[in-house]
Amino acid sequence: MVADRRRGSAAHVRRWPGHTITYTESIPAKWDWSLQRALTAWNTAGGHLSFVPVKKGRRPQLVIGFGDTHGADGYASIGPAPHAFVHLSPGYRKAPDTAGLKVWVGRLFTHELGHVVGFEHTAGTCSLMVAVFDTGACPLLDDQPGYYACRWIDKPLLKRFVGAYGGKARQAAKSCLIDPLPDQLVGPQFTAAPGGPVTFRWSAPPSAPPRSKVHLEVWPGSTCAGDPPRDVDVQLPLGAGTWTDPSDGTGGPHCFRAQVVNQYGAGPAPVVTVLDRFQRPVAPPSVAAGAWNPDEGRWAFTASWSADTLLVAYISTADPASCPAVEAAGTFQMTFGHGSALFVPALGPEECVVFVARSAAGVSSAAVPLHLQAPRPPAPVVGTPVYDAGTDTWSVSVAPVAGLTPVAEVRAGACSSPAPANLTFPESPDFFSASPGPSCVYVALADFTFAAWFGPVVSRGFTQPSA
Ligand SMILES: [Zn+2]
């Protein structure tokens, strides 16, 4: 930032006669803070020289206003001059009065008033009278919110000032408030009602600068130490008087912190307390089995669950028939939003799906199990085995059933009843062969969605001719 482009002798001070410089100013209200802090910086520096507003009807010695700055941010006459002036660049008419710019313009006015007092430019990185101000090396604001680095008139300059005008140098504080501190809140109190959210109640402070607010923060922890990420970070109007935790949180101890702050973030000591944060319960979903879809190997289901939550399903991959614990290892998981197609994959002919509704904060409802059972394939309708002498093979007709596959196994000897328990059905009823003599073909309908999921077995005896 460029104060101005004055050139001259650094050593020489062009001293005003007398102990006052009368001034008039036409700076708009938004830069009043900056100008007043600049005038005060000089008026409280301990020298026998003060800037005073000109009395009504009298001609001022100094005129402060927007004006030509030769391309810099400010410009001023040096020392006693018939028409002494301080100009602020007209670019500042539209500039926002952020904390940083307010402080910068204040420092700029202090610099320009330094010229009026009689100083030329000097060297020194953070000196007031350097031509180009290095905001990187000399920060304008303090680390503490709402404070600024206010020792604008550096020590060497202060010495030259009292040397020229007399008096006793008074160094400004290092750090100053931008706005005054608000008064403390009246009767602030966090309360945790059993089974309900934490509330904060207070009355507005007796006095607070404009745009002061209540800054309320919540974060997880059993102490209020450190600076972890906030779950809640809100600004509340001073007069609101009450705040209720929206508490879509995960419960457990949390630090609740409230502080009245001015618009720049400075305030008296915060109110801090550790309380268990209310966990808004999530209602369990309601679920019902829908149609079994053997073609797609999945179940449809119907469900209703509360708005603002997701429906989450768990199925054990190792043992689909048993109901898994929510989030247990080895579970298959599916998440459904409102409007999702509702189905779960069939991992076994018998399956237990465990459902929960879950809030965005990760709070789960009680688990709701849903038992699903694929219908067992029906008994096949089987014809009489037919021999084809050309190929020396057999076939047997099986009435088709949608989604199911007829399977067969041939064993030598007469048919046994009941059918053997260890049938694996490696053959097709359309094409099978046998050893000479009596044999039995066992036929079933299989659902190939699952391994070894067969319906009741129908047997047909036949006799393979000798070769
Ligand atoms: Zn200058």
For every residue of 196-216, DSSP letters joined together read S-EEEEEE--S---TT-EEEE
Query: What distance in angstroms lies between residue 5's CA and the mean position of ligand 1's atoms?
Result: 6
Parts of the chain with a pLDDT under 70: 1-11, 248-249, 294
pLDDT of residue 297: 79
Instruction: Give the Å distance between the CA of 119 and the centre of ligand 1.
Output: 9
Query: What separation in Å is there between the alpha carbon of 110 and the centre of ligand 1?
Result: 10
Q: What is the pLDDT of residue 291?
A: 84
As separate numbers, helices (DSSP H) first and strands (DSSP E) second, the chain gives 3, 26
**Is there a contact between 280 and 363 (Cβ–Cβ < 8 Å)?**
yes
Q: Which two tokens stand for residue 332?
A: 């298959």
Distance of CA 126 from the midpoint of ligand 1 (Å): 13
Closest CA to 270 of 147, 176, 145, 174: 145
Task: Tell me, in angstroms, the distance from the centre of ligand 1 to residue 130's CA.
Answer: 7
Q: How far is the CA of 133 from the centre of ligand 1 (A)?
A: 10
State the pLDDT at residue 298: 87
Distance 115 CA to ligand 1 centre (A): 7
CA of 45 to the centre of ligand 1 (A): 19
How remote is the CA of residue 356 from the centroid of ligand 1, in Å? Answer: 70
Give residue 38 CA to ligand 1 midpoint distance, Å: 14
The two tokens of residue 318 are 């190792």
- DSSP letter assigned to residue 126: T
User: Distance (Å, rounded) from C-alpha 196 to C-alpha 191?
Assistant: 10
Query: Tokens 């050893």 identify what position?
Result: 435
Say if CB 412 and CB 464 are below 8 A apart: no
Give me the pLDDT at residue 292, please: 81
Q: Which helix (H) or strand (E) holds 115?
A: helix 99-117
Distance 73 CA to ligand 1 centre (A): 9
pLDDT of residue 42: 98
| pLDDT at 52 (0 to 100) | 97
Which residues fall within 8 angstroms of residue 313, CB to CB, at 6 or more apart? 333, 334, 335, 336, 344, 353, 354, 355
**What pLDDT was estimated at residue 5?**
61
Q: Which residues pair with 280 in a beta bridge?
A: none
- Report pLDDT for 102: 96
Ligand 1 center from residue 74 Cα (angstroms): 7
User: How far apart, in Å, are the Cα atoms of 427 and each of 222, 238, 386, 410, 424?
Assistant: 68, 83, 15, 8, 9
Report the separation in Å between the CA atom of 141 and the middle of ligand 1, taken as the mean of its atom positions: 21
User: Distance between CA atoms of 291 and 301, rounded to whole angstroms?
Assistant: 7
Instruction: Kindly give the distance from the C-alpha atom of residue 4 to the centroid of ligand 1, in angstroms, as a whole number.
Output: 4
Q: In what side-by-side order are the strands of the sheet with 253-261?
A: 232-237, 213-220, 253-261, 271-276
CA of 111 to the centre of ligand 1 (A): 6
Question: How far does the centroid of ligand 1 lie from the alpha carbon of residue 3, in Å?
Answer: 5
User: What was the pLDDT predicted at 451?
Assistant: 77
**Ligand 1 centre from 127 Cα, in Å?**
11
Determine the distance separating the centroid of ligand 1 and the alpha carbon of 132, expressed in angstroms. 8
Compute, in angstroms, the gap from residue 168 CA to the centroid of ligand 1.
Answer: 25
Centre of ligand 1 to C-alpha 162, Å, is: 20
Q: How far is the CA of 6 from the centre of ligand 1 (A)?
A: 5
Cα–Cα distance measured from residue 257 to residue 173, given in angstroms and rounded to the nearest whole number: 30
Identify the three-state secondary structure at position 249. coil
- Residue 6: per-residue pLDDT: 62
Phi, psi of 41 (to 5 degrees): -55, -45
Structure tokens at 384: 């009489």
Distance 125 CA to ligand 1 centre (A): 14
What is the distance in A from the centroid of ligand 1 to the CA of 117? 12
User: What is the 29 CA–ligand 1 centroid distance (Å)?
Assistant: 24
Residue 43 contacts residue 159 (beta carbons within 8 Å)? no
Ligand 1 centroid to Cα of residue 143, in Å, is: 27
